[in-house]
Structure 1
Amino acid sequence: MEEETSFDPDVIHGIFKGVWAKMAALEQEKAEASDAADSEAGASASKRHRRTTANANALKLSAELLRLFVVEAVQRSAAIAEVEGATKIEATHLERILPQLLLDF
């Protein structure tokens, strides 16, 4: 049996960190806007920001889930391409299966 290769958990961690950084920046902008409005009203509350981290097992699991998602997308797209008589999977095949794939995951 052939061993399945997965995405590198470090790459997944890098993606997560990028998303977390963007979310933190948006939250900070909202908090600053809210603090400016509150200071005009006379009340100010500061939020304590926690650092977001990911467990190594959670990263491995996320990488495996992403691998399964991609494999399923390729298999469904290949089935559509085969029905149409195409020898290559094209973007249109992926576009056709994507709505149901997203609902299934």
Structure 2
Amino acid sequence: MEDEPTFDPDLIHAIFKNVWTRRAQERARNEAEDVIEGEAAAGPSKKNRSTSANANGLKLSCELLRLFVTEAIQRAATIADAEGSTKIEATHLERILPQLLLDF
């Protein structure tokens, strides 16, 4: 399994950090709007903690993404082959994505 190509863990970590940062900023903006409107929370506010991922979590995320992309390509190739096409096109991916998302 080690020799199979996979996604770069540093890239996946950077993507996760980007999403976490955006969500934290959005959450802070929403909390600021609540305070301005006089709707302060009844309980203590949440601490703003830095979100992180450990190495095993990143490896697992990379493997899950690899499997997801591989399965998507295989399903789209099956549809393309059934239509007599030798290339996978966007329409083939569009046709398999709903079921693929339900399966994963």
Structure-1-length-normalised TM-score? 0.90
Q: Is the 8 A contact 1:81 1:93 kept in 2?
A: yes
CA drift at 1:36: 1.4
Match for 2:52: what amino acid? T
How many residues align? The count is 103
Q: What's the C-alpha RMSD, in Å, of the aligned pairs?
A: 2.2
Match for 2:50: what amino acid? R
Match for 1:3: what amino acid? D
CA drift at 1:38: 2.7
> Which SS does the other structure have where 1:97 is aligned?
helix
Match for 1:23: what amino acid? R
> Which SS does the other structure have where 2:38 is aligned?
helix
> Which SS does the other structure have where 1:38 is aligned?
coil
CA drift at 1:44: 9.1
Q: Is the 8 A contact 1:81 1:88 kept in 2?
A: yes
For residue 4 of structure 1, what is the aligned residue in structure 2? 4
Between Structure 1 and Structure 2, which shows a larger proportion of helix residues? 1
For residue 51 of structure 1, what is the aligned residue in structure 2? 50
For residue 30 of structure 2, what is the aligned residue in structure 1? 30
Q: Is the 8 A contact 1:38 1:44 kept in 2?
A: no
Q: Which has the larger radius of gyration?
A: 1
Q: Is the 8 A contact 1:6 1:63 kept in 2?
A: yes
Q: 1:3 to 1:46 in 2, by over 3 A?
A: closer
Deviations 1:68-93 (A, max 9, x none): 00000000000000000001010000
CA drift at 1:48: 1.6
For residue 18 of structure 1, what is the aligned residue in structure 2? 18
Question: Are 1:63 and 2:65 matched, yes or no?
Answer: no
Structure-2-length-normalised TM-score? 0.90
